[in-house]
């Protein structure tokens, strides 16, 4: 079955960068897109961006444009999300989510990576 396993929790200082990984198994990695979604404490889910794992093109939410970079390593079936210039408001749970082959909904999710930004 499809499984997405994310890297562990991170604590960062304001101004730093964080890079979260998402390793996929149970399907052909390059056949699906991968999205990144975050959820700040008590807040709604927020879409950050997307990568076509096959050809590597990306699209980002304008809110994060310039601060977020999504990449992938096809040999490792792993997607990465790097967020720079961190501020306290970036403290959140970050999820990767696979785009369904049948549509653009998210049919499988990683377990989440908690990123805490604190001085």
What residues make contact with other proteins under the rule CB under 8 A? 35, 44-47, 59, 61-63, 95, 97, 100, 102-112
- The CB-of-7 to other proteins minimum distance in angstroms stands at 15
Please calculate the CA angle 10-14-18 and round it to the nearest 5 degrees. Answer: 35
* Nearest by Cα to 79 from 31, 33, 23, 32: 23
- The CB-of-58 to other proteins minimum distance in angstroms stands at 12
Interatomic CA distance for residues 8 and 81, integer angstroms: 13
Closest CB to other proteins among residues 15, 56 = 56
Closest CB to other proteins among residues 13, 105 = 105
């Amino acid at each position: 079955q499809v499984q997405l396993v994310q890297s562990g929790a991170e604590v960062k200082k304001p101004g730093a960068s964080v890079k979260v990984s998402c390793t996929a198994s149970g399907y052909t990695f390059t056949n699906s897109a991968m999205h990144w979604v975050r959820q700040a404490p008590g807040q709604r889910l927020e879409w950050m961006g997307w990568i076509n794992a096959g050809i590597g093109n990306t699209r980002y939410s304008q809110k994060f444009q310039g601060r977020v970079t999504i990449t992938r390593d096809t040999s490792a079936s792993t997607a990465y999300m790097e967020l720079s210039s961190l501020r306290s408001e970036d403290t959140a749970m970050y999820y990767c989510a696979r785009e369904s082959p049948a549509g653009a909904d998210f049919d499988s999710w990683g377990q989440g990576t908690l990123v805490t930004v604190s001085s």
